[in-house]
Structure formats: structure tokens, C-alpha cells
Amino acid sequence: MRLTLGTRLVLAMAAIAALSIVVAVTAIVLLHRIGTDARSVARDSLPTLKAAGEMQIALSDQRGVVSSYILSEGDRSWLEQLRTAKAAFSEWSARAGADARTTDEKEVLGRLAKAYAEYDARREKAILQFDRGQRDEAVSTVRNDVWPAYHRAYHHGEELIDIIDGRLQSAAENAQRSSVLVSWYVSLGLTVITGLAVALAWLLVQRVLLPLRHMAADARIRIGYELDAADETIDDEIRLVGSYFRAIMADSANAHTALAESQSRMWNAEKLAAVGKLAASVAHEMRNPLSSMKMWLYSIQKAAGADPTLDHKCRILSDEINRLDGIVRSVLEFSRSPSLKSQPLCITRVIGDTLVIVRPWLETKKIRVVESHAAGLPHIRADSEQLKQVLVNLLNNAAEAMPGGGELSISTVADVDADGAVCVVVRVRDTGHGIPKEIQSRLFEPFFTTKREGTGLGLCIAANILAAHQGHLVLESSTVDGTTFAIRLPAAGEAHDE
């Protein structure tokens, strides 16, 4: 049976409407499922991840307390600090156990509890030996038993964080892949709908509009501008076709709106996953100030007495504690980046303040520091504490690349960027073993590390800090003779070094 023009138009519009409904409903259902799955994974993982991060902080707070107790000749305040840190660790350990969802997490928590119990037992043994007057035996116990036990417990904590972060990352990747597939599906559906719409438009133009125009022209010739009842009926049918097109466009707009809402939910899930990464960075960033505090405590112990430099060293320790508090506050503020406290700075003075902090530790590693600063350097506008954090990270990495000692050189010069703007360049070079070429392109990726106990966040955080200052951190060269990192910061143009 041959279909009439009206039937073909109705069938074409019905097909377009049905396909639009199918595409829109399917896209909404799939994207809603993607968003629900992503939120579910984030909701289940973030409490455990937060608890694991707090456990690492509490465990880090216990590091070196026994050594400090022995070096201070039995100062009981260290034991009080130890009890506080142990209570915090127990509390967060219980929360992590209650929030753990997977078998892997529970297994790692079990290994962590066992390792921590061993660490605590050996630590108590060292304290008991010292209290009995067996100082040498206590020192030997700390060096041979307590420190290895601490590193095992800390490693299990990092393993737990990696498992949870891996689950979040996997969920984000799955959601991204599913979103891409849905986008392709919607695009294909829209393409088919567009093709049908074009065919319908052609059909309307060729079979309706053009004949109507000819008929209208004939009518004007024959009867003038008067419209009869037949013409009015045709005009109503055209308006009906237009209403169908408006309905199709409304369906398409609803599909786009649903897609945008689902994408927004996915972005929120990714922000929650970023919170977990930020919490994991705290354990890494706390090592530098803690190490500085311990080195200066050791120096103060050696310089006990009426030493005029004692007060100066105490001020340095106070600055480091304040910096540590700033890092902890950044965790509590979740993914919100701390605001910069920018001010005009002399870069050589910032370098000098940083070296005052780390020089004793470098000397214990037999590393000689060589400075070379150009005269008349322009000042920069930056946050001094965050720049110290970047420099400490680079100096620590350079020292770790020279386990047998070596030379660490720091130089500053004025330079011009590609756009002609004046900048200050700080170069940190070591005489270590260099960085393999196959991993150089991944140095600034978060969580990429070649260190057994590293988090892979140091260089990433340093690069982000410099980006916030409109600067850059680049790997200029790395050979078997050493590695050079360069910090490039725009000049403030307000003053110059004397």
C-alpha cells in the first residue's frame, strides 16, 4: 500500500520523537548510574582515607620521641607527648578499622596493627633500659630495633593510603570511560535524529512548502489575496508540524541538561578524590620540618649551657613548628588552596634562611654547600614560607641523590623569559647519580616516585606552589655527573638586592 504524504510526515515525526525519547532516557539513566557509582565509591573511601592520613600523622608525631627523651637525659615531657600521639593513633586506627570496606584494606590494617605493636614494644624496651641507667643499651635498641620497626609500620600506613587512592582513581577512570561511551552514544543518536530532521525538512520543502507557494501564487492570480477554507486548513497543519519540531528540540535540550548535571556530579566526585590526595601529601610534607626539629634538638643538646646561639636555634625551631601547623591547616581546609601571603622578597635572603634550617642535616651527610649569587638581583613578590617549602624539597632530593656525600651548589641570576619579562632564576645542582631519561617526563606527576618510602608528591606540590606564584619549576639537565633543577620567578620590579 502506497503511503500518503500526511502518513509519511506523521511517521517521520513519530520516529524522530521516539528516538529522541530513547536517547534522552538512556543517557539520563546511564549518567545517573555513573554519578551514583562515583559518589558511592567516594563516600565509602574518603572516611577511611582521612583516618589513614591521620594515623600517618599520629605515627609521624611519635618518630624520634624516644631518641629525644634519651638525648634530653630523661625529660618526661617527651613521654607525655608520646602518650598523646599514641592515643591519637589508637583513635584513628579504630576509625579506619570501622570504615574499611575491602579485604585488602582490612589485611593491611591488620599488618599495620601488628607492626605498630612491635614498634611500641621495642620503644618501651628502650625507655625501660634508659630508666635503668643502661643508656648505651637503650641507644642501641633505638638504632637497631625501634627505627626499623617504625619504618615497617609507616610503610604499611602508606600501603593503606595507596590502596584507597587506587580505588578512588580506578572509580574515576571507570566513570570517565563510561562518560565517554555515553557521549558517543548521545552523539550518534543526535546524528541520526539530525539526519531524520533533514529528511523531514526536505520532504516538507519539496512536498509541502513549494507546492503551497505555487498554490498561493495561483490563488493570488485567480482570486487575489483572499484565503479560502482549504488554505487555512493547510496553514494549521504547518503549525502542527512546527509544534512537533519544538517538542523534539525540547527533548534534545532536556538530554543536554541531564548530561551537564551528570558531568557536574562527576566533577564533584573528582574533587572529593583530590581531597584524599591532599591528605596523603601531609605525611610527606611533615617529614622536612620534623627532620629539621630533630636536628636542631640534637644541636641544642650538644650546645647545652650558656651558649649565645641557643636562643637563635630555638627561634628557628619555632618557625618550623609554625610551618608544620600551616601544613596541617591546609589538610583541614580540604582541597581549598591556602591563600598566598605575597610580599616583596630578596631571594638570596630566603635561600639563606632555608640553608640555616637544613645545613646541620646536610653536614651530617657530608654534603658541602656552595653558593653563587649575582649582584643586583631584582626582588620577587612571593610567600616566603611556601618558597622555603619548595627549596627544602629540592635540597632534600639533592641530598638523597648523594648518599655518599658530595657538593650541592645554589646559584641565582637574573634572566629574561620568552615574552621579554625579567625573572629571577634559582638553580639547585647536585653531584649525584642523575635521573634516568625514561622517568624524567613523569617527575611532576602526582604519586609517581622511585623511592621506597616516598609519596611522589614533593615535586608536584613544589611545581603547584610556583605556578601559584606565576613561576615555573623545570628540570634543566640530568646526567651521570649530577642533576640541575631551576626555579623561575617573575621579578617584582620594586627593588633590587644590595
In this predicted model, what pLDDT tens digit does every residue of 109-147 receive, in sequence order? Answer: 888 889 888 988 988 888 888 888 888 888 898 889 888
CATH of the domain at 77: 1.20.1440.210
How high is the pLDDT of residue 485?
95
- pLDDT digits over 34-91, tens only? 777 767 766 777 888 888 888 888 888 888 888 888 888 888 888 888 889 888 888 8
Beta bridge partner(s), residue 343: 382
CB 359 within 8 A of CB 318: no
Percent of all residues in the chain with a pLDDT value above 70, rounded to a whole number: 70
- Report the C-alpha gap between 76 and 8 in whole angstroms: 93
Q: Which of 55, 140, 49 is nearest to 99 (CA)?
A: 49
294 and 260 belong to one structural domain: no
Give the total number of structural domains in the chain. Answer: 3
Residue 170 has pLDDT above 70, yes or no: yes
How high is the pLDDT of residue 240?
40
Residue 427 φ/ψ region, left for φ over 0, alpha for ψ in the -120 to 50 degree band, beta for the rest: beta
295 and 268 belong to one structural domain: no
Ranges 39-53, 82-96, 258-272, 462-476: which has the least confidence: 258-272
How high is the pLDDT of residue 376?
86
- Report the C-alpha gap between 472 and 487 in whole angstroms: 6
**Of 259, 281, 303, which residue is a domain's last?**
281
Mean pLDDT across the chain: 77
CA distances to 285, 291, 305, 481 from 324, rounded to whole Å, are: 8, 11, 28, 34
306 and 426 belong to one structural domain: no
How high is the pLDDT of residue 23?
78
What DSSP designation does 428 have? E
Give the pLDDT band (50/70/90) at residue 260. Answer: low
**Of 334, 354, 369, which residue is a domain's last?**
334
- pLDDT digits over 346-403, tens only? 999 999 999 998 999 899 989 999 999 998 889 998 998 889 989 998 999 999 889 8
User: Which of 196-200, 275-279, 304-308 has the highest mean predicted lDDT (pLDDT)?
Assistant: 196-200
How high is the pLDDT of residue 234?
44
Question: What are the φ and ψ backbone dihedral angles of 426, each rounded to 5 degrees?
Answer: -110, 125
106 and 223 belong to one structural domain: yes
Q: What is the mean pLDDT of residues 204-209?
A: 70
How high is the pLDDT of residue 285?
64
CB 203 within 8 A of CB 9: yes
309 and 276 belong to one structural domain: no
Widest distance between CA atoms in the chain: 125
Residue 334 has pLDDT above 70, yes or no: no
Ranges 188-202, 256-270, 288-302, 406-420: which has the least confidence: 256-270
How high is the pLDDT of residue 55?
84
35 and 105 belong to one structural domain: yes
Give the pLDDT band (50/70/90) at residue 441. Answer: confident
Residue 153 has pLDDT above 60, yes or no: yes
274 and 299 belong to one structural domain: no
Kindly tell me the sign of the dihedral angle through the C-alpha atoms of 256, 261, 267, 273. negative
Residue 226 has pLDDT above 70, yes or no: no
Give the pLDDT band (50/70/90) at residue 483. Answer: very high
99 and 142 belong to one structural domain: yes
More confident residue, 330 or 404: 404
b/e per residue 27-36 (b: at least 16 CB within 10 A): bbebbeebbe
105 and 131 belong to one structural domain: yes
Residue 487 has pLDDT above 90, yes or no: yes
How high is the pLDDT of residue 331?
43
217 and 358 belong to one structural domain: no
- Amino acid identity of residue 29, one-letter, is V
Residue 310 has pLDDT above 70, yes or no: no
- Report the C-alpha gap between 481 and 478 in whole angstroms: 8
Residue 159 has pLDDT above 50, yes or no: yes
82, exposed or middle or buried, with CB in 10 Å at 0-12, 13-18, 19+?
A: buried
- pLDDT digits over 488-497, tens only? 999 986 656 6
Domain of 39, in residue numbers? 5-281
The crossing angle, in degrees rounded to 10, of helices 310-332 and 229-285 is: 150
Q: Around Cβ 234, how many Cβ atoms within 10 Å? A: 14
- pLDDT digits over 171-188, tens only? 788 878 877 887 887 888
Residue 464 CA neighbour count, 13 Å, CB half = 13
How high is the pLDDT of residue 318?
56
Question: What is the pTM assigned to this prediction?
Answer: 0.39
**Of 334, 367, 395, which residue is a domain's last?**
334
Q: Any idea how long the chain is?
A: 498
- Map residue 147 onto helix, strand or coil: helix
Distance of CA 371 to the CA centre of its chain: 33
Residue 204 has pLDDT above 80, yes or no: no
Q: What is the mean pLDDT of residues 442-464?
A: 75
Give the pLDDT band (50/70/90) at residue 312. Answer: low
In the block, residue with C-alpha cell 645542582: 429
Residue 413 has pLDDT above 90, yes or no: yes
193 and 293 belong to one structural domain: no
As a dihedral over the C-alpha atoms of residue 132, residue 133, residue 137, residue 138, rounded to 10 degrees, the angle is 70
88 and 128 belong to one structural domain: yes
Ranges 286-300, 322-336, 338-352: which has the least confidence: 322-336
How high is the pLDDT of residue 496?
65
Percent of all residues in the chain with a pLDDT value above 90, rounded to a whole number: 13
- Report the C-alpha gap between 475 and 370 in whole angstroms: 20
